[in-house]
Amino acid sequence: MDNQYVFIVLPSSNIKVVKLQKDTTVSLGKFGTFHTNDIIGKPFGHSYEIYDRDKIKVIRNVAFYEVDDSGANNQETIDDPSKQKLSYQDIEQLKKDGMEGQDIIKKVIESHSSFDKKTEYSKAKYIKRKESKFSRVFTPVRPTLYSVWEYFFAKNPSKIRDMRIDTLSQMLTISNARAYAKLLVVDDTQGLLITGVMERLGGSYGIVLGIHDGEYHNYDIVRYMNFSKKVNDSLMVLSWQQIFKEESPFNYQDESKLSQKDLKFYLRKKANYEKVQEARKILWKGGFDGLLVASQYQPESILDTLVPYLAGSRPIIIYHINREVLVNTCVHMRISGKFLNPQLTESWLREYQVLPGRTHPSMSTSGGGGYLLQATYTSTIT
Amino acid sequence: MYFLSYKTCIEEGDLVIAYISRENMTPLIMDPKLTYNNKFGTFRHSDMIGKEYGTKMPSHNGRGFMYLLHPTPELWTHVVPHRTQILYIADISFITTYLDLKPGSIILESGTGSGSFSHSLARNIAPNGHLYTFEYHEERAKAAKQDFERHGLSDLITIECRDVYKEGFGITDLVHAVFLDLPAPWDAIASAKAAFKQKRIGKICCFSPCIEQVQRACASLNEHGFVEIKMFECLIRNQEVHTIPVYTVKDAVSKIKVQQDKKRKRNEEEASNSKAAKSPRIKQDPPNLYVSKTPTEAKGHTSYLTFATFLPVLDDEIEIIDKVNELD
């Protein structure tokens, strides 16, 4: 785990992204601090409680507690803060005295004069609420496509074009992204889509060619996956400008005549130029195995530009959060005759709470997962 | 190897998915001696060999055409003989991501069913992963095994005919993920737990159509120490794209006027008993609008997807297990 990104889930359920470096400490704000060496090399999955300011111990995780309903009800429940005998200052003092989070929660419950009158469900809820406040338990979470998506979707959904994980997963399946594939990806989702494709290709067994907005790509999300060099090297990029066949000659120089400083600069420039040339050659050679699009640009124009580089019988999959955009593209595809069976779909996802005696769909959920337009490119028209 | 890499041109012995329509596809193994007949005509395999995948192929007698598609696990689900209920693409996709499948993953599947999801899994874990799949129905297991062999997937898939409720999986400390499509997953969870790589985190998915199954599965997962138990339902909703004309109130008024004019003329004609000259019809096409609508009937439920996390065994637990083993 050294030098790797991890997500740290805090007691408040907030998530902090940390790049773990050995022999350092990580501060979790009011929850405390831990030494990176204490978790580096440990398997993911377990939680840790901070004690004595910066020491940690493993906490056994449990899924849910069986709750027996004692028959209590909320008939006598009155909203009255005076029922809690511990004041804010008292609790702060306990914390200062170094009392552990779990013990503070126990104390808070003991000091609640009518805790016994609560129903079992509301007792569980109360404990959970207190835990999020006083517990010092954190959980390191391994970055996976799912956890990385979850983090960015919660943080700023518009940056990933509101793409939901079920929709992203469908794109990866429909595009047949797998080892040995050679895929064209137009990604304006900060690299979320590219990340998924790169992972499914798994490194040296294929090529991911990202066509990006602006002069330099902004696939920020890729790095959080801790990809190996092999996987990172499978990514090639070109800007919209670079894909067109305009010559941009490079001024080759005699390297032996350059000063140390100039040489370094020259070599970097040359390497960049050659990388772009290589990507262009691969694109122009064509025969790509599929096209995935999640872009701000008009899909029809993207199709016109990139479809000539596809081989026959290969999937095309276009995402948009606005259905209207894809309705137009769908009509365009039908008229052109180059695409077999264009289909417009909407993704639907529902999460449920499953607890003994309390199973129901989540009370709040994402409003929509966006739309996908898929078709198969057919090479010959008769 | 059709499912693990693409080819450009069709060769003898290749699997081609003949696409006649969305509802009508058929798998063909290229054999120059054979012809394929459907209501659109005769298609000679020898005419197809050498063509590029994706070719629109006219029939030999010119009555119709079909497309020659490259096989993918998704197309295979359309043409696989349905020996059992198959998984839908929304579920396949979500499960693949949630179980964190990628090249190199080692996964356990039970039951194999028609083997259609196995194709999808094998595609995702190739070239260096492995799928252990279990099917208790002997004929189904045989048929699936044959498909895997024909499709060059034998190196990636180990299939076993086995009653996992009674005998368990017989696998320990090996897999990263488990997928249970069984009527009573709770009877296989203990054995599935042992199959996980014990020193790292793992994911399990139980695929059950009924809510009662979900509740029992969750209770069992909880009992066996799985955490982060989550349940989802996902679907794909089709949108049919149409072009509709946009008529306005003005059009509605003029429509009535036209009808009234017709009536008046007819009355006049009857009265005078002579035919009036036809007035030229001026019809203007209204502007079009591209729209989409949901189909009248759609799939409303496939199955519930219950996921949970397997926790790596801690070092002190390993010591305890070792001690118990020594005592045995």
pLDDT tens-digit map of B83-130: 678 889 999 999 999 999 999 999 999 999 999 999 999 999 999 999
Which amino acid type is present at position B173? D
Per-residue pLDDT, B235 = 96
Of A252-256, A290-294, B157-161, B232-236, least confident by mean pLDDT is A252-256
Instruction: Please give the distance of CA A150 from its chain centroid, rounded to a whole number.
Output: 5
Contact A145 B97 (CB under 8 A): yes
The yes-or-no verdict on residue B283 having pLDDT over 80 is no
Per-residue pLDDT, A325 = 97
Q: Which two tokens stand for residue B321?
A: 């297990």
Q: Which residues of B touch A354 (CB under 8 A)?
A: 214-215, 218, 229, 231, 306
Largest CA distance in chain A: 90
| Cβ atoms of residues A172 and A208 within 8 Å | no
The yes-or-no verdict on residue A79 having pLDDT over 70 is no
Average confidence score pLDDT of chain B: 91
The yes-or-no verdict on residue A103 having pLDDT over 50 is yes
Contact B55 A380 (CB under 8 A): yes
Contact A205 B103 (CB under 8 A): yes
Among A61, A169, A313, the residue with its CB nearest the CB of B93 is A169
The yes-or-no verdict on residue B168 having pLDDT over 90 is yes
Of B44, B81, B95, B321, the closest CA to residue B206 belongs to B95
Structure confidence by residue, pLDDT tens digits, A220-230:
999 999 999 99
Per-residue pLDDT, B136 = 95
For the segment A77-88, the average pLDDT, to the nearest whole number, is 72
Rounded CA-CA distance A195/A200 in Å is 9
Of B239, B236, B240, the closest CA to residue B302 belongs to B236
Per-residue pLDDT, A66 = 55
**A145-377 CATH choice from 3.40.50.150, 3.20.20.220, 1.10.260.40, 3.30.565.10:** 3.40.50.150
Per-residue pLDDT, A362 = 95
Query: Dihedral (C-alpha) A299, A305, A311, A316: value to the nearest 10 degrees?
Result: -10
Helix axes A145-155, B89-98, angle to 10 degrees: 100
Per-residue pLDDT, A252 = 87
Distances (CA, A) of B148 to A298, A330, B43, B118, B123: 41, 36, 27, 9, 12
**Residue A236 half-sphere exposure toward CB, CA atoms < 13 A:** 22
Q: Which residues of A27-60 are buried (b: 16+ CB within 10 A; e: fewer)?
A: ebeebbebebeebbebbbbbbbbbbeeeebeebe
| Cβ atoms of residues B5 and A180 within 8 Å | yes
Per-residue pLDDT, A116 = 77
Coil, helix or strand at residue B289: strand
Going by DSSP bridges, is the β-strand pair B130-135/B106-110 parallel, antiparallel, or unpaired? parallel
CA distance A37 to chain B (A): 17
Domain B76-234+303-327 in the same topology as domain B15-71: no
DSSP per-residue codes, B66-85: EEEEPP-HHHHHHHS--SS-
Structural domain spans, chain B: 15-71, 76-234+303-327
Q: What is the ipTM of this complex?
A: 0.92
Q: Which residues of B touch A180 (CB under 8 A)?
A: 4-6, 126-127
Which amino acid type is present at position A183? L
Helix axes A101-110, A88-96, angle to 10 degrees: 150
Contact A352 B90 (CB under 8 A): no
Per-residue pLDDT, B279 = 62
Coil, helix or strand at residue A1: coil
The yes-or-no verdict on residue B154 having pLDDT over 80 is yes
Superfamily of domain B76-234+303-327: Vaccinia Virus protein VP39 (3.40.50.150)
| Cβ atoms of residues B68 and B47 within 8 Å | no
Contact B6 A144 (CB under 8 A): no
Coil, helix or strand at residue A112: strand
Q: What is the number of CB-based contacts under 8 A between chain A and chain B? A: 215
CA distance A120 to chain B (A): 18
Closest residue in A to B214 (Cα) is A354
Contact A350 B52 (CB under 8 A): no
Rounded CA-CA distance A288/A377 in Å is 11
Contact A323 B219 (CB under 8 A): no
pLDDT band at A69 (very low <50, low <70, confident <90, very high): low
Rounded CA-CA distance A201/A180 in Å is 7
For the segment B8-21, the average pLDDT, to the nearest whole number, is 94
The yes-or-no verdict on residue B1 having pLDDT over 70 is no
Per-residue pLDDT, A84 = 77
CATH class of the domain defined by B15-71: alpha beta
Sign of CA dihedral B165, B169, B172, B175: negative
The yes-or-no verdict on residue B24 having pLDDT over 60 is yes
Closest residue in B to A58 (Cα) is B314
Give the containing element (helix H, strand E) for B204. Answer: strand B202-208
Neighbours of A150 (CB within 10 A): 15
Structure confidence by residue, pLDDT tens digits, B201-239:
999 999 999 999 999 999 999 999 999 999 999 999 999
| Residues making up the binding site of B for S-adenosyl-L-methionine | 135, 181
pLDDT band at A286 (very low <50, low <70, confident <90, very high): very high
The yes-or-no verdict on residue A377 having pLDDT over 80 is yes
Neighbours of A85 (CB within 10 A): 11
Contact A146 B229 (CB under 8 A): no
Per-residue pLDDT, B114 = 93
Distances (CA, A) of A328 to A315, A320, B8, B21, B270: 19, 12, 30, 23, 50
**Residue A323 half-sphere exposure toward CB, CA atoms < 13 A:** 17
Contact A378 B73 (CB under 8 A): no
Rounded CA-CA distance B83/A254 in Å is 69
Among A312, A330, A346, the residue with its CB nearest the CB of B241 is A330
Contact B227 A346 (CB under 8 A): no
Per-residue pLDDT, A72 = 60
Place of tokens 């552990």: A100
Contact B4 A176 (CB under 8 A): no
CA distance B265 to chain A (A): 42
For the segment A84-91, the average pLDDT, to the nearest whole number, is 78
Contact B234 A328 (CB under 8 A): no
pLDDT band at A381 (very low <50, low <70, confident <90, very high): very low
For the segment A217-239, the average pLDDT, to the nearest whole number, is 96
| Residues making up the binding site of B | 135, 181
Per-residue pLDDT, B322 = 46
Radius of gyration of chain B (CA): 30
CA distance B190 to chain A (A): 16
Q: Which residues of B touch A331 (CB under 8 A)?
A: 241, 243, 290
B95 vs B315, residue with greater confidence: B95
Structural domain spans, chain A: 1-142, 145-377
pLDDT band at A353 (very low <50, low <70, confident <90, very high): very high
Among B104, B221, B312, the residue with its CB nearest the CB of A45 is B312
The yes-or-no verdict on residue B156 having pLDDT over 80 is yes
Of A150, A230, A348, the closest CA to residue B100 belongs to A150
Closest residue in B to A313 (Cα) is B54
Identify from B19, B48, B241, B244 which residue to disrupt to test chain A contact, counting A C-beta atoms within 10 A and taking the largest count: B241
Rounded CA-CA distance A186/A322 in Å is 17
Identify from A313, A352, A374 which residue to disrupt to test chain B contact, counting B C-beta atoms within 10 A and taking the largest count: A313
Percent of chain A topping pLDDT 90:
63
Neighbours of B160 (CB within 10 A): 18
Rounded CA-CA distance B91/A170 in Å is 9
CA distance A26 to chain B (A): 23
Contact A382 B98 (CB under 8 A): no
For the segment B60-89, the average pLDDT, to the nearest whole number, is 88
Contact B102 A202 (CB under 8 A): yes
The yes-or-no verdict on residue B248 having pLDDT over 70 is yes
The yes-or-no verdict on residue B44 having pLDDT over 60 is yes
Contact B200 A44 (CB under 8 A): yes
Closest residue in B to A330 (Cα) is B241
CA distance A175 to chain B (A): 10
Closest residue in B to A150 (Cα) is B98
Among A165, A346, A378, the residue with its CB nearest the CB of B67 is A378
The yes-or-no verdict on residue B196 having pLDDT over 90 is yes
DSSP per-residue codes, A268-286: HHHHHHHHHHHHHHHHHH-
Rounded CA-CA distance B251/B134 in Å is 65
The yes-or-no verdict on residue B257 having pLDDT over 70 is yes
The yes-or-no verdict on residue A169 having pLDDT over 60 is yes
Q: Which residues of B touch A349 (CB under 8 A)?
A: 94, 232-235
pLDDT band at B61 (very low <50, low <70, confident <90, very high): confident
Average confidence score pLDDT of chain A: 89
For the segment B13-23, the average pLDDT, to the nearest whole number, is 93
Rounded CA-CA distance A24/A12 in Å is 24
